[in-house]
Amino acid sequence: EQRWMASGVRLARDAAAADERDDSPQFLADVVAGLSSPQKTLSPKYLYDARGSALFEEICRTPEYYPTRTETALLREIAADLSALIPKGAALIEFGSGASDKTAIVLDAAPQISTYVPIEISHDALDQAVARLAQRYPSLDFVPIAGDFTGELRLPESVRAKSAVGFFPGSTIGNLDPAEMQQFLLRTRVLLGEDSVLLVGADMLKDVPTLLAAYDDAAGVTAGFNRNLLERINRELGADFDIQAFRHEARWNAGLQRMEMHLVSLHDQHVTLGGMRFSFSQGESLHTENSHKFSTDSFDALAARSGWQIVQQWISPAPQFAMFALVP
């Protein structure tokens, strides 16, 4: 068991080394394209380097950021219902597993799960999560996959032979654009197969002050998380962003039903990156994240156009957060 684990962890590290070599040309290309568009934009997936992942964990502990606490309490409440949906010997496949904090609730409630497959872009987070869970669940098989869960994924044969239970908590789905959400759900349907269940956590529409506070906490942790993206670009791509010359802003976009994070330029300035110069005028923003909020109807419509249907749903008391169980 121990040896198996060690090789699982090594596998993730090897993939990490390969990814680090390959990541930066894509990162550079994406940043250059994002800074060249009329509304300057960066993909939220780049928020999660080691520092960004640590800051996100810290956001989850702020009093204003209700989603994590609310979803955790909801999962505990519905654990027996979830267990009833999970077949014996199933593989639990988690998309964007991060610190795998909520996984233990499902694993405790459903000891019939034989295999855990965390898929996570941050190699550090993946390694740490697997090491921690392996101690707590010594008879569980681990198949960690270091990678981007929005990309093309393949599961090893040993996993494909089992009933698949997909787990996508945290309302991470809300960080995708609508077309990406649909693509993710369509791909996941193929990946998990006909007999699968997909458990998706989704943050629900609610009053705007609650939302604004959650994305702009008083201690400034979310602001630091947002600004860290510029620090990462400076560090990894040799840019010269003046971090202090940008302020964090959380906005509610009512038309598109989403929270947005922006970095707003405090004055006219320019930034150099990869031999190019990008100008920011005072008040111009760099859009760094969307976090879509759902209603039962909007989630149902999304599932329906992505080849899934809701078989069961659980919604917490306010601030409302939902868990949806989908089947093909």
With CB under 6 A as the contact rule, the residue among 43, 103, 285, 291 that binds ligand AVI is 291
User: Between the CA of residue 147 and those of 52, 95, 151, 209, 288, what are the distances in Å?
Assistant: 16, 10, 8, 35, 21
Q: Which of residues 201-240 bind ligand AVI (CB under 6 A)?
A: 215, 222
Q: How far is the CB of 170 from ligand AVI (least distance, A)?
A: 5
Per-residue x/- mask for ligand AVI, residues 52 to 91, rule CB under 6 A? -------x-------x------------------------
H helix or E strand, kind and range, residue 104? helix 103-109
When asked if residue 97 is in the footprint of ligand AVI (CB under 6 A), the reply is: no
When asked if residue 144 is in the footprint of ligand AVI (CB under 6 A), the reply is: no
Q: How far is the CB of 45 from ligand AVI (least distance, A)?
A: 10
No. of helices (H) and no. of strands (E), the chain: 10, 14
Neighbours of 21 (CB within 10 A): 8
64: Cα separation from own chain's centroid: 19
Binding segment toward ligand AVI, per CB under 6 A, in 73-81, 164-172, 265-273, 306-314: 164-172
Nearer residue to ligand AVI within complex by CB, 129 or 143: 129
303 in helix, strand or coil?
helix
Nearer residue to ligand AVI within complex by CB, 171 or 320: 171
Binding segment toward ligand AVI, per CB under 6 A, in 102-110, 111-119, 147-155, 165-173: 165-173
Report the DSSP pairing between strands 321-327 and 309-315. Answer: antiparallel
Buried-state track 65-79, b at ≥16 Cβ within 10 A, e below 16: bbbbebbbebbeebe
With CB under 6 A as the contact rule, the residue among 72, 103, 175, 188 that binds ligand AVI is 175
Return d(Cα 274, Cα 281) in angstroms, integer.
20
AA letter at 87: P
Give the phi and the psi of residue 275 in degrees, each rounded to 5: 75, 5
Place of tokens 């990156």: 273
With CB under 6 A as the contact rule, the residue among 171, 196, 265, 316 that binds ligand AVI is 171
When asked if residue 172 is in the footprint of ligand AVI (CB under 6 A), the reply is: yes
Binding segment toward ligand AVI, per CB under 6 A, in 119-127, 170-178, 179-187, 236-244: 170-178
When asked if residue 122 is in the footprint of ligand AVI (CB under 6 A), the reply is: no
When asked if residue 170 is in the footprint of ligand AVI (CB under 6 A), the reply is: yes
Report the DSSP pairing between strands 197-203 and 321-327. Answer: antiparallel
Interaction site with ligand AVI (CB under 6 A): 59, 67, 170-172, 174-175, 215, 222, 261, 289, 291
